[in-house]
Amino acid sequence: MIYEQSLFFFDMSAIVMMLVFAYLSKRLGEALALKPYYVILFATSGAIIAASGLETIPQSLSFGAVSVITYTLRCAAAGIAFFVVLRYWKWLFAEFSKK
């Protein structure tokens, strides 16, 4: 069982990390003239905020599948954010392997 307090801190750290990557990817994308995929990172952080907000609804007012929906939303947002970040930062792997 995942405790609500640790899940809240996980959500906040994921949101901050996505926003930092969005800012850095925006700057990198402008320098390299790439398409603005960084906007997707803002959407994924919004999805995590929505998932966190859905879990604040009391259980008596919500339906039973809320936890499944919120976990699925978090996993989908993390997967999408991973591929967007990889789109901008994949060149780091080539630089690191040159050592």
At residue 40 the predicted structure's pLDDT band, cuts being 50, 70 and 90, is very high
Q: Which residue has the higher pLDDT, 88 or 18?
A: 18
Angle at 54 between CA 21 and CA 11, to 5 degrees: 30
What residue spans define the domains of the chain?
4-97
Q: What is the pLDDT of residue 1?
A: 47
User: Whole-prediction pTM value?
Assistant: 0.80
pLDDT value of position 78: 94
Convert the pLDDT of each residue in 4-39 to its tens digit.
Answer: 778 888 899 999 999 999 999 889 888 888 888 889
Structure token pair of residue 71: 């976990």
